[in-house]
Structure 1
Amino acid sequence: MEDLGAFLHSRRARVTPESVGLRPGARRRVSGLRREEVAQLVGISVEYYQRLEQGRSSSPSPEVLGAIARALRLDKVESTHLSSLAHPPRHPNGHQPVQVRPELLRMLDRMASVAALVINDRFDVLASNELGARLFEPVLAEPDSQRNLARHLFLSPTAADFYLDWDEIAAATAAQLRLVRARHPADSELAQLIDVLTAASQSFQTHWSAGDVELRAAGVKNLRHPDAGVLALHLENLDLPGDPRQRIVALSPAQDPATETALRCLATSPPSATVPAGTPTKP
Structure 2
Amino acid sequence: MSRRRELGLFLRSRREGLTPEVVGLTSGVRRRAPGLRREEVAELAGISVDWYTRLEQGRVGSPSMHTLDALASALRLAPAEYAHLQLLIQSHSVPAWLAERAPAAVTRLIEQWQYPAYVLNERWDLLAWNDAATAVFGDFGSLRTRRANLLHYMLLDKTAQSVFGETWAEEAQRMVGKFRRLYDQHAGKKEFDALIDDLSDASACFANWWQRHDIVTQGTGRKHLIDQSGTLRAFEYLSMHPADTPHLRLTLYMPTV
TM-score (norm. length: structure 2)? 0.89
8 Å Cα contact 2:98-2:123 kept in structure 1: no
8 Å Cα contact 2:164-2:224 kept in structure 1: yes
Residue 13 of structure 1 aligns with an amino acid whose one-letter code is E
Partner of 1:16: 19
Partner of 2:71: 68
Change (3 A) 1:169 1:121: farther
8 Å Cα contact 2:119-2:251 kept in structure 1: yes
Q: Output one character per residue of 1:182-240: Cα deviation in whole Å (capped at 9) or x when no partner.
A: 11225432221111101111110011111111114322212222225222221211222
Q: How far off is 1:143 after superposition?
A: 6.2
Q: Which of 230, 249, 252 lines up with 2:251 in the alignment? A: 249
Relative contact order, CA 8 A, sep 6+: which one is greater? 1
SS in 1 for 2:252: strand
Partner of 2:179: 177
Q: Output one character per residue of 1:168-194: Cα deviation in whole Å (capped at 9) or x when no partner.
A: 111112112211111122543222111
Change (3 A) 1:193 1:199: same
8 Å Cα contact 1:95-1:187 kept in structure 2: no
8 Å Cα contact 1:88-1:182 kept in structure 2: no
8 Å Cα contact 2:143-2:157 kept in structure 1: no
Partner of 2:39: 36
Q: Output one character per residue of 1:33-78: Cα deviation in whole Å (capped at 9) or x when no partner.
A: 1111111111111111111112221221122112111110111221
Partner of 2:123: 122
Deviates more, 1:10-19 or 1:190-199: 10-19
8 Å Cα contact 2:155-2:203 kept in structure 1: yes
8 Å Cα contact 2:176-2:206 kept in structure 1: yes
Partner of 2:56: 53
Q: Give 5+ residue unaligned stretches, structure 2.
A: none
CA distance, structure 1, for counterparts of residue 168 and residue 98 of structure 2: 28
Residue 79 of structure 2 aligns with an amino acid whose one-letter code is K
Partner of 1:210: 212
CA distance, structure 2, for counterparts of residue 49 and residue 158 of structure 1: 45
Q: How far off is 1:22 after superposition?
A: 2.4
Q: Which has the higher Rg, Structure 1 or Structure 2?
A: 1
Change (3 A) 1:238 1:84: closer
- Count of matched residue pairs: 253
